[in-house]
Structure 1
């Protein structure tokens, strides 16, 4: 990309959005990876493509040399979306309405992937290199919690000095300097079946026990400490004329710190049944650890905000995000991680998902300057 223009950047985004890539559709996500691989090759990247596992698509890495040797920048993005194939032809077609461009995954996070790649393509096309080596890592399963990718992400992060995450900016353009931890816990109650009429007293209801547990779990929410526990799904029973033997529920937990996570985990794992004749099992599922702003992350943010200012715009500030990203894994390892460098927009995971076209040029130019100026000294690493 020799010249950065609004039309060229928007067309690049359109090409990402045109390839629908829901997480569970391996072939679709791999088609997205094929497109990204072509861009990485054009940017001078050496390709590593790791075959998918656990029922997910491939992990794609492109290594772009820098002017400096040594540990470089890990740029993280994910190729998967929550929208099923057919959304583009139905509920959320590609369209431009004033300053808004709409499409499935355009905000979370194909727009961010696209502008980061456009910045690297621009450097390559103009005969320049990033100051530090850049490893671009595109993930196939972030929307499912990155179960097949987490170990690879953490291994890569340990070998890099800085992590940049192309997730969308929040709150009108803020950069993300920390994220809450996110955990899923699975509750299962096992009772005793009985006829709901003649032998009701002999039964032990798994649903009644689960109802009591749900109240106890949600009572652990502490808004003042930004700790939330939400029982988002619950199922149980097989027939209305039978005392239910099984019930299951999923608890979605957000915590601001490791200490809060340990506290909540201890409380959940210590739950006991109200009815001693009903069995209760609590299991931890997928978990993204929290990461907090460190002095090194503050330096990264200050550097990025200063570059934006020199380019004629403001990044709108910093934020601690409630939602998770793959930056949770890298930040929790202590690797300086600056997240939310993607596009400005709104409506993630909805049929109103959009980016602001006016954000493409400034955000791409910010990426160019970050690649040109970041060194380990910037973050104090």
Structure 2
């Protein structure tokens, strides 16, 4: 089993797939399709850069969810080559989340009632796959997300919701030395907006509102006529996501003669602990029965497609992929010794979920469509 997992992951990693490069993602989709067909014995449905396998003749019971795009630009293999040394796998995207795809193919093989969905735009916020993901989630009793684990192999039982905004300011240009008073300074207005936006954070409720990328002006001797700032919002509850959204859309200019336009909004709803509790309890019990160390569940700030599946009311457990660390970073790596135990946990969890009658498969507290 381990040799197959390593071979599949290497093939996936060696096909670079930065999300914003459509041609690269298309090439990666070809590789994913080829490996999946080899391991599952079934060719996938091709939906652009997304791939879907429906296994068995009966209705889908469990959705296995992953993505094949990465944050790494083309050429990253030259500086971060795929290697296996001392029990550690390295390479761009190995942890997030190509080793997770190899695991998904392994555990899905030979099972009926499973849908495996692998998307190609998760790192962009899933703009083209969201409807597909939500549709598949509504049809399933449970969703298992093969995203990389939290530190120490912990599962991700709670994820913050994500909102993204662009605050655009329009002013009026003027010569900064000769007649600055004739201008309406977009940079000064942006400064007011950045302070207003940052003040929307609420640490007591776990809400972060972070101004990030900002730009303004065209020349050092010109009053800026325009500018913009991007805003990243992370929330634990839908109520907080709504509160921040209302406040963002209520932003008004302070500097006379300027205007403010707010674009964007909620991108992913929160994955609440209640959406994962019953599935996590099953996984923790199975891990103990397999003689594994106590399985932990943690809350994380990053979003995933698991937020979307939980958002439609389907029980969702995230972080079931590779154990390692360094997602999106130079030290991205996978612990090879944890791949086979992870596959065993996933296989046992799948067996249990598929054995439960359909009307009992959704754990208590989940909402069925």
4+ residue segments displaced more than 4 Å: none
Rounded Cα–Cα distance in structure 1 between residues aligned with 2:319 and 2:140 = 19
Report deviation, 1:7: 3.2
Q: Structure 1 residue 135 and structure 2 residue 123: aligned?
A: no
Give the corresponding residue for 1:48: 45
Unaligned stretches of 5+ residues in structure 1: 52-57
Report the Cα offset of residue 39 of structure 1.
3.3
| Structure-2 residue corresponding to 1:276 | 256
Within 5 Å, which residues of 2 pair with 1:167-316?
167-285=147-265, 287-294=267-274, 297-314=276-293, 316=295
Contact 2:197 2:209 in 1 (8 A): yes
Query: Are 2:321 and 1:342 equivalent residues in the alignment?
Result: yes
Q: In the alignment, is the contact (CA less than 8 A) between 1:172 and 1:316 conserved in 2?
A: no
**Cα RMSD (Å) of the superposition?**
1.7
In structure 1, what is the Cα distance between the partners aligned to 2:29 and 2:183?
53
Shift of 1:232: 1.0
In the superposition, relative to structure 1, how do residues 188 and 315 fare at CA in structure 2: closer, same or farther (>3 Å)?
Answer: farther
What is the deviation of 1:360? 0.4
Alignment of 1:152-163 (within 5 A): 152-163=132-143
Counterpart Cα distance in 2 of 1:226 and 1:335: 24
Aligned pair in 2 of structure 1 residues 315, 231: CA closer, same or farther (>3 Å)? farther
Give 2:53's aligned residue.
62
TM-score (norm 2): 0.93
| Match of residue 116 from structure 1 | 104
Aligned partners of 1:320, 1:173: CA distance in 2, in Å?
A: 13
Q: Deviations over 1:268-318 (max 9, x none)?
A: 111111123211111125611112122x63121111111122222135311
Provide the rounded CA distance (Å) in 1 between the counterparts of 2:11 and 2:23.
17
Q: Indicate how the Cα distance of structure 1 residues 298 and 285 shifts in structure 2: closer, same or farther if over 3 A, else same.
A: closer
User: Paired residue for 1:55?
Assistant: none
Contact 1:17/1:104 (8 A) holds in 2? yes
Give, in angstroms, the shift of residue 26 of structure 1.
2.1
Q: Deviations over 1:139-176 (max 9, x none)?
A: 01001111011111111111111111000110211111
Count of aligned pairs between the two proteins: 359
Partners of 2:277 and 2:267 in 1: CA distance: 25
**Please, which moves more after superposition, 244-253 or 13-22?**
13-22
2:311 corresponds to which of 332, 339, 354: 332
Which of the numbers 56, 78, 81 marks the counterpart of 2:70?
A: 81
- Preserved contact between residue 175 and residue 315 of structure 1 (Cα < 8 Å): no
The farther-off stretch of 356-365 and 96-105 is: 96-105
User: What is the aligned partner in structure 2 of residue 18 from structure 1?
Assistant: 14
State how far apart, in whole Å, the 1-side matches of 2:254 and 2:52 are.
Answer: 51
Matched, 1:150 2:130: yes
Deviation, 1:71, is 4.0
Alpha-carbon distance, 1:194 to partner? 1.1
- Match of 1:41, SS state, is helix
Whether 2:23 is the aligned partner of 1:34: answer: no
CA distance in 2, matches of 1:346, 1:360: 14
Q: Which residue of 1 aligns with 2:89?
A: 101
Provide the C-alpha distance between the structure 2 equivalents of 1:120 and 1:264, rounded to a whole number of angstroms. 40
**C-alpha contact (below 8 Å) 2:206/2:236 kept by paired residues:** yes
1:356 to 335, 341, 345: 335
Q: Following the alignment from structure 2 to structure 1, what is the Cα–Cα distance between the partners of residues 146 and 338?
A: 14
Segments of structure 2 that go 5 or more residues without pairing to the other structure are none
Aligned to 1:365: 344
